[in-house]
Structure 1
Amino acid sequence: MIRITRILSAAAVCVLAAPALTACTGGVFDGEQAERTAETDSLEANYQQVVETVLPSVVEITTANGLGSGVIYDDAGHIVTNAHVVGSATTFQVTPAAGGDTLPATLVASYPTEDIAVIKVEGTLPGNPATFADSTQLKVGQIVLAMGNPLGLTGSVSQGIVSAVGRTETEPRTADSPGTVLADMIQTTAAINPGNSGGALVDLDGNVVGIPTLAATSTGSGDAAVGIGFAISSSTATRIADQLIADGKVVDSDRAALGLTVRGVIDESAKPLGVGVVAVTAGGPSQQAGIQPGDIITAIDGTAIPTVTELNVFLASKKPGDQVTVTITRAESSMDVPVTLGEM
Structure 2
Amino acid sequence: MDATPSRSRVRRSLTPLAAGACAIALAGGCTGPGPAPAAAPAQQAVVSRAAGDLEDRYRAVIRDVLPSVVQVGAGDGLGSGIVYDGKGHIVTNAHVVGDEKTFDVSAATGEKVLKASLVSSYPEQDLAVIKLDDVPDGLRAAEFGDTDEVEVGQIVLAMGSPLGLSSSVTQGIVSAVGRTVSESSSGGGTGATLADMVQTSAAINPGNSGGALVNLDSEVIGIPTLAATDPQLGDSAAPGIGFAIPVSMVRTVADQIIRTGKVTDSGRAALDITGRTVVDDDYRPAGVAIVTARKGGAAEKAGLRSGDIITRIGSTRITTITSLSEALAGDDPGQKVKVTYTRGDASRTAEVTLGEI
TM-score by length of 1: 0.90
Is the aligned partner of 1:230 residue 2:243?
yes
Equivalent residue for 1:146? 158
Which of 200, 206, 227 is equivalent to 2:212?
200
Aligned residue in 1 for 2:183: 171
1:97 touches 1:149 (CA, 8 Å); kept in 2?
Answer: no
Contact in 1 for aligned 2:278/2:287 (Cα 8 Å): yes
* 1:88–1:176 Cα contact (<8 Å) kept: no
Q: 2:186 is aligned with what amino acid?
A: T
Q: Could you tell me how far 1:321 is from its partner in structure 2?
A: 1.4
Q: Which residue of 2 aligns with 1:283?
A: 296
What residue in structure 1 maps to residue 10 of structure 2?
A: none
1:185 aligns with 2:192: no
- Displacement of 1:317 in angstroms is 1.1
Letter in 2 for 1:193: N
- Is 1:85 matched up with 2:103? no
Match of 2:105 among 94, 101, 108: 94
In proportion to residue count, which structure has more helix?
1
Cα deviation 1:40-61 (Å, max 9, x = unaligned)? 1111011001001100000000
Hey, what does 1:11 align to over in structure 2?
none
Counterpart residue type for residue 335 of structure 1: R
Q: Secondary structure at the match of 2:232?
A: coil
The aligned counterpart of 1:104 is 115
Pairing partner for 2:331 from 315, 318, 333: 318
For 2:56 and 2:315, the matched residues in 1 are separated by 52
1:280, distance to aligned residue in structure 2 (A) = 1.0
User: How big is the shift at 1:101?
Assistant: 1.2
Q: Distance in 2 between matches of 1:302 and 1:64?
A: 45
In structure 1, the gaps of 5 or more residues are: 1-5, 7-23
Shift of 1:268: 4.5
Shift of residue 224 of structure 1? Answer: 1.9
The equivalent residue for 1:61 is 72
Are 1:239 and 2:256 counterparts?
no
Write the letter of the residue equivalent to 2:267: D
- For 1:157, the equivalent position in structure 2 comes to 169
Using the TM superposition, name which of 69-78 and 176-185 deviates more.
176-185
Q: Which has the higher contact order (CA 8 A, sep 6+)?
A: 2
Q: Which letter does structure 2 place at the counterpart of 1:106?
A: S
Q: Is the 8 A contact 1:83 1:112 kept in 2?
A: yes
Q: Contact 1:97 / 1:148 at 8 angstroms: preserved in 2? A: no
Counterpart residue number, 1:265: 278
The 2-side partners of 1:44 and 1:234 are apart by 25
- C-alpha displacement at 1:270, in angstroms? 2.2
| Cα drift, residue 189 of structure 1 | 0.5
User: SS at 2:112's partner residue?
Assistant: coil
TM-aligned CA distance change 1:34 to 1:178, over 3 Å:
closer
Contact 1:301 1:324 in 2 (8 A): yes
Query: How many Å separate the matches in 2 of 1:70 and 1:338?
Result: 42
Q: Secondary structure at the match of 2:263?
A: coil
Q: 1:124: Cα distance to partner?
A: 2.4
Letter paired with 2:142: A
2:12 aligns to what?
none
Aligned to 1:38: 49
Q: Would the aligned equivalents of 1:200 and 1:212 in 2 still touch at CA under 8 Å?
A: yes
Aligned identity (percent) is 52
2-structure distance, mates of 1:219, 1:338? 38
Over 3 Å counting, the alpha-carbon distance change for 1:202 and 1:49 in structure 2 is same
Deviations 1:66-125 (Å, cap 9, x if unpaired)? 000000000110000000000000000000023211110000000001000000001224
- Equivalent pair of 2:94/2:190 in contact (CA under 8 Å): no
Letter in 2 for 1:255: R
Q: How far apart, in 2, do the equivalents of 1:44 and 1:178 lie?
A: 37
**Conserved 8 A contact 2:73-2:79:** yes
- Check conservation: 2:227, 2:243, Cα contact below 8 A: yes
* SS of alignment partner, residue 113 of structure 1: helix
Counterpart in 2 of 1:10?
A: none
SS at match of 2:95: helix
- Please list the CA deviations of residues 258-312 of structure 1 after superposition, one character each: whole Å capped at 9, or x if unmatched: 1111111123442212110111111111111111111111111121101111000
Q: Secondary structure at the match of 1:71?
A: strand
Say yes or no: does 1:214 pair with 2:235: no
2: CA distance, partners of 1:302 / 1:169 = 19
2-structure distance, mates of 1:72, 1:335: 50
Aligned residues: CA RMSD? 1.6
Structure 2, unmatched stretches of 5+, are: 1-26, 28-36
Which structure has the greater CA radius of gyration?
A: 1
